[in-house]
Amino acid sequence: MHTRIRPLLTVLLALALTGSAAAEEPSLSTRLDRVIDQALADQRIVGTVVLVAQDGKVIYHRAAGYADREAKRPMREDALFRLASMTKTIVSATALSLVDQGQLTLDEPITRWLPTFRPKLTDGREPPITVRQLLTHTAGLAYGLGEPETDPYLQAHVSNGLDQPGLDLDENLRRIASAPLLFEPGTQWNYSVATDVLGAVLIRAGGAPLPTLVERLITHPLGLTDTAFTVKAPARLAAVYTGERPSPARVDGYRHVPTETMNLRVDPRRAFNPRSFPSGGAGMIGTAKDYLTFLEAVRTGTLPGLKKTTQAQMTSHQLGALQQAAGPGWGFAFGAAVLVDPAQAHSPQSPGTYRWGGVYGHSWFVDPERRLTVVALSNTFPEGMSGAFPTALRDALYAPR
């Protein structure tokens, strides 16, 4: 009898030890809290709002740090942020809605709507640019991220949608068209002011100002009451900081911020100047909650006014052999990067994951296979977009459980 009991006791002890080890594994909330707390303690970010949804249910939410450090105003989950390039995905969805309504076509030259917008190649040719090429950043345009003495966009005083408060759209289009195209449209990928040009196309095709079109087709049907091209509640707007050492520096006016990969020029006052053109690439203001709602509609294929097939295109690789567009292993869809090869990208995310962010300090991704949607907005750039913080958040989410 004793010999029969011993194996059973061994099994029970092993199960108990396994259960004990599992109990000691930090929970998802603990892992994410640690990442946020460490980023704040290291003064890599000033404040953040992080939301995580699984199968449409919010499983983690937290506001931490300061929305305004100098005023000692704590970050809140309903804080407003300058969304920067997160605007692109919303405006791209607006464009696709007009396509499905028959007011816009993907492969017709944009001179149908912008007859005077005719940028040239360096050899003097004027190749046609299509809506599809604007959506996929294959139009041959640029962003002016170089040095003033060598960058044609800076020499032409092109706005990136983040600077030059009060500049109107027609003048910026003229400046863009005066700079040479980088390549024959459709042959390469280059991140650019393409979505600002797309915004001008939408105005002509949709017969209304861009803010009106975005509200009518996307934000109002989804109930995104805080997301717009204007600051709806200034008291809730997060201040802007740049990630300098030993602590982030506040940015209230024009600032040139060189990083490892670009020379960024911003002026946060732009959001308050009613004469600033509504930048389709960088001009919206909104909350983490609103953006999560938008991304969940994208994930579930329930964007208002878009066909299922169109929504599938929006989140799938559109560049054929150009599978290194947004970095190793990342292709590009309509308004976001798409994970083509996780091994090349050194990412734990599933193939088909799409992501983007905003240079003021934001990142987001949707992993359709895991039905996971993540929005992480911060007020510190570029750390919140491309620093260690968003990578640590991602890795905490995919840690073995």
Q: Are strands 249-250 and 241-242 parallel, antiparallel or unpaired?
A: antiparallel
Give residue-wise pLDDT tens across range 246-301. Answer: 999 999 999 998 877 788 999 999 999 999 999 999 999 999 999 999 999 999 99
Q: What is the average pLDDT across 81-85?
A: 98
- What confidence tier does 1 reach under pLDDT thresholds 50, 70, 90? very low
Task: Tell me the pLDDT of the chain averaged across its residues.
Answer: 93
Query: What is residue 20's predicted lDDT score, i.e. its pLDDT?
Result: 41
- pTM for the full predicted model: 0.93
Selecting among 85, 97, 159, 386, the annotated active-site residue is 85
State yes or no: is 85 an active-site residue.
yes
Q: How far from 199 is each of 50, 174, 256, 277, 339, CA to CA, in Å? A: 29, 14, 25, 10, 26
Backbone CA torsion sign across 55, 227, 327, 334? positive
Mean pLDDT of 30-47: 98
pLDDT of 7 > 50? The answer is no
CB atoms closer than 10 angstroms to residue 29:
13
Q: Reply yes or no on whether the pLDDT at 183 is more than 50.
A: yes
Q: Which amino acid is at 39?
A: A
Q: Mean pLDDT throughout 54-78?
A: 98
What pLDDT shows up at residue 244? Answer: 86
Q: Does residue 151 have a pLDDT over 90?
A: yes
346: amino acid identity, one letter: H
Name the nearest CA neighbour of 370 among 349, 386, 354. Answer: 349
* pLDDT at 347 > cutoff 90: yes
- The distance in angstroms from the start CA to the end CA of the chain is 38
Bridge partners of 367, per DSSP, are 372
Q: How confident is the model at residue 321 (pLDDT cuts 50, 70, 90)?
A: confident
Residue 14 pLDDT class (50, 70, 90 cuts): very low
Per-residue model confidence (pLDDT) at position 104: 97
| pLDDT of the residue at 57 | 98
DSSP 334: S
**Helices 288-300 and 87-100: angle between axes, nearest 10 degrees:** 40
If pLDDT is split at 50, 70 and 90, which confidence band does 181 have? very high
Pairing of strands 285-286, 372-378: unpaired
pLDDT at 24: 63
What percentage of the chain reaches a pLDDT higher than 90?
87
pLDDT digits (tens, 9 = 90+) for 217-254: 999 999 999 999 999 999 999 999 998 889 999 999 99
pLDDT at 401: 64
In order of 197, 289, 295, the CA distances from 212 in angstroms are 17, 21, 20
In this structure, what DSSP letter does residue 251 have? -
Mean pLDDT of the region 201-221: 98
